[in-house]
């Protein structure tokens, strides 16, 4: 946020935040479990959310924009793989 605010005249017209629609989040966890992937039941230490009931999203009506980022997923996963503390090999999203 600080970089966006400090950009001055070259600041982009919009700033997007990552938010997942709650309906999608619940379906995502159901699909993981149906595929035999054990999604974590608790969030990382220091947070107060988990995936037990898929409360990892916001009410669907609050999400107003969707951006297709699929082409960037391989690059993101490769970057995360460089930092074991970010996403270790056994992480459920790497299966």
In a domain, 72, yes or no: yes
Q: What is the pTM of this model?
A: 0.59
For residue 1, being part of any structural domain is answered with: no
Taken in order 56, 58, 60, 65, is the CA torsion positive or negative?
negative
The 10s digit of each residue's pLDDT in 46-78 is 444 445 444 568 889 999 999 999 999 999 888
**Which range has highest mean pLDDT (3-7, 30-34, 84-88)?**
3-7
Distances (CA, A) of 84 to 33, 35, 43, 56, 91: 24, 25, 17, 23, 10
Domain of residue 93, residue span: 65-95
Q: What is the mean pLDDT of residues 2-7?
A: 90
- CB atoms near residue 28 (< 10 Å): 16
pLDDT in tens, 24-51: 888 888 888 888 887 665 555 544 444 5
Q: Are residues 82 and 51 in the same domain?
A: no
Q: What letter does residue 40 receive in the DSSP assignment?
A: -
Per-residue pLDDT for 8 more than 50?
A: yes
Total number of domains constituting the chain? 2
Placement of tokens 């609050």 in the chain: 62
In a domain, 33, yes or no: yes
Measured CA to CA, the distance from residue 62 to residue 24 in angstroms comes to 13
């Amino acid at each position: 946020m600080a970089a966006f605010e400090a950009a001055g005249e070259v600041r982009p017209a919009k700033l997007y935040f990552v938010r997942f629609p709650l309906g999608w989040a619940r379906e995502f966890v159901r699909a993981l479990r149906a595929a035999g992937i054990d999604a974590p039941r608790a969030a990382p230490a220091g947070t107060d959310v988990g995936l037990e009931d898929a409360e990892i999203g916001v009410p669907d009506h609050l999400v107003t924009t969707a951006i297709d980022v699929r082409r960037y997923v391989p690059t993101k996963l490769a970057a995360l793989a460089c930092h074991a503390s970010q996403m270790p090999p056994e992480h459920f999203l790497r299966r």
